[in-house]
Amino acid sequence: MSKIIVAIDGFSACGKSTLAKALAAHMGYVYVDSGAMYRAVTLFCMRNKIVGTDGKFDEKKVVNSLKKIKLSFKYNPAAKASDTYLNGENIEKDIRQMDVSNNVSKISMIKEVRSHVGIIQREMGKDKGIVMDGRDIGTNVFPEAELKLFMTADVDVRVQRRVDESNSKGEHVTFDEVKHNLMQRDYDDTHRKESPLTKAKDAVVLDNSDLNKEQQLAFVEKLIKDFLLTKDTLSL
Ligand code: C5P
């Protein structure tokens, strides 16, 4: 039986990666966090002072840095997902910091950055059997994906979830700074010229404001079962 591609897009901190990870485990598929790649490029540029502490950068220098960046991924059984490596260094923790979150959406607007990262993403999905989450997976990276989800949730619910997640890791962030970051990124991601965040025409909307993890997974499992009834392409 052939495998499929599941594309999950949506606003920041909607629980895309939590659902994508659970779904990938359920299906025996590979999970890919596409945002981690944009975060890795951003981290490289910050470390090399291409992005200043004021968030300003010269676009040409960012594009030029792409050839010095080697991204790789290694499965981490504890996280049940792959960690992201930048030139051989595990940067999984560093790319989740607020300073990277504050710069990533501006870096990911750059056309050359998107095409560079897009090539890596398409290569990862060439054999299918993949669940990838991000902002343009169903619209741009895999427009042919068999199952597309578009996730959304009330902004304050999203902020609180992100604050709780950070606190549980011992990182101190305030509700207001997280809210500002999420709203700014959502604005940048939906208004950019290159592959903006938008719902693919054939994507199913999942608003998880009032759904727990189990309910979300059950919702998607049902979608897949319904899909199976109409298309004989998938084995679970
Ligand atoms: O998913 P995550 O919040 O880690 O993504 C960080 C940022 O990377 C997003 O706010 C967005 O600017 C960018 N991104 C993107 N396209 C994707 C995934 C992420 O532009 N497919």
For ligand 1, atom 19, name the residue with the nearest CA.
35
Ligand 1 environment, Cβ below 6 A: 12, 34-35, 38-39, 104-105, 108, 134-137, 185, 189
- Going by pLDDT thresholds of 50, 70 and 90, the confidence category of residue 236 is very low
What kind of fold does domain 5-231 have according to CATH? Rossmann fold (3.40.50)
Question: Which ligand 1 atom is nearest residue 17's CA?
Answer: 1
Report DSSP letters for the chain, one per residue. ----EEEEEESTTSSHHHHHHHHHHHHTPEEEEHHHHHHHHHHHHHHTTSB-TTS-B-HHHHHHHGGG--EEEEEETTTTEEEEEETTEE-TTGGGSHHHHHHHHHHTT-HHHHHHHHHHHHHHTTT--EEEEESSIIIII-TT-SEEEEEE--HHHHHHHHHHHHHHTT----HHHHHHHHHHHHHHHHH-SSS-----TTPEEEE-TT--HHHHHHHHHHHHHHHHHH-TT---
What is residue 235's predicted lDDT score, i.e. its pLDDT?
47
Put the strands of the sheet holding 89-90 in their side by side order.
Answer: 71-76, 81-86, 89-90
Contacts of 10 (CB under 8 A, 6+ apart): 16, 133, 135, 149, 150, 151, 152, 197, 206
Closest to 70 in 3D by CA, of 94, 87, 48:
87
At residue 32, φ and ψ (nearest 5 deg) are -125, 125
- pLDDT tens, position by position, 127-181: 999 999 999 999 999 999 999 999 999 999 999 999 999 999 888 899 999 999 9
For ligand 1, atom 4, name the residue with the nearest CA.
35
Confidence check: pLDDT of 196 > 60: yes
Question: Which ligand 1 atom is nearest residue 189's CA?
Answer: 12
Question: Which ligand 1 atom is nearest residue 140's CA?
Answer: 21
Q: Name the residue of 104, 113, 199 to mutate for ligand 1: max ligand atoms within 8 A of Cβ.
A: 104
89 Cα to the center of ligand 1, angstroms:
21
- Hey, where are the domains in the chain? 5-231
Question: Which ligand 1 atom is nearest residue 109's CA?
Answer: 20
For ligand 1, atom 12, name the residue with the nearest CA.
105
What is residue 169's predicted lDDT score, i.e. its pLDDT?
87
For ligand 1, atom 14, name the residue with the nearest CA.
35
29 Cα to the center of ligand 1, angstroms:
21
- pLDDT tens, position by position, 93-133: 999 999 999 999 999 999 999 999 999 999 999 999 999 99
Q: Name the residue of 51, 83, 96, 108 to mutate for ligand 1: max ligand atoms within 8 A of Cβ.
A: 108
- pLDDT tens, position by position, 35-94: 999 999 999 999 999 999 999 999 999 999 999 999 999 999 988 889 999 999 999 999
β pairing state of 130-134 and 30-33: parallel
154 Cα to the center of ligand 1, angstroms:
19
Put the strands of the sheet holding 130-134 in their side by side order.
Answer: 30-33, 130-134, 5-10, 147-152, 204-207
142 Cα to the center of ligand 1, angstroms:
16
Please compute the mean of the pLDDT values over residues 19-37 and round it to a whole number: 95
The CA-atom distances, in angstroms, between 152 and each of 42, 119, 127, 163 are 25, 27, 28, 17
Q: Which is more confident, 227 or 112?
A: 112
What is residue 232's predicted lDDT score, i.e. its pLDDT?
60
Confidence check: pLDDT of 31 > 90: yes
